[in-house]
Amino acid sequence: MTRDGERLIELINELGSRVTHVVSDMVPPAAQVHLLNAQRELVTALMLIYEHRVATTPPARTRRATASSQRTSRRRSPRRVGKIPIE
């Protein structure tokens, strides 16, 4: 992980701890647990998005190659059969 990624994690954790401190006086304990779990999932999602954006670099394409790939992808795109189950 890059140094920028580590700084981002530290910033998010600091913001989360500050929000938790403020909310702890107003929110019941059961709701606090729920909010902490939601915060953890949000941080995880943000980090995955960040790592994906940093790790992938867009390939250099020419206009002709892009148009060609769009034509072939239109022909080959499968139809969605049904809903995707989410756990």
Alpha-carbon separation of residue 41 from 6, 7, 18, 86 (angstroms): 17, 18, 17, 15
Average pLDDT over every residue of 49-74: 65
Domains of the chain, residue spans: 1-54
Of the listed ranges 10-24, 36-50, 68-82, the least confidently predicted one is 68-82
How far apart, in whole angstroms, are the C-alpha atoms of residue 27 and residue 16?
15
How far apart, in whole angstroms, are the C-alpha atoms of residue 42 and residue 36?
10
pTM: 0.46
How far apart, in whole angstroms, are the C-alpha atoms of residue 78 and residue 68?
18
Q: What is the pLDDT of residue 9?
A: 80
> Would the pLDDT of 36 be above 60?
yes
Measured in whole angstroms, the distance separating CA 13 from the mean position of its chain's CA atoms is 16
Q: What is the pLDDT of residue 44?
A: 86
- Is the model more confident about 4 or about 80? 4
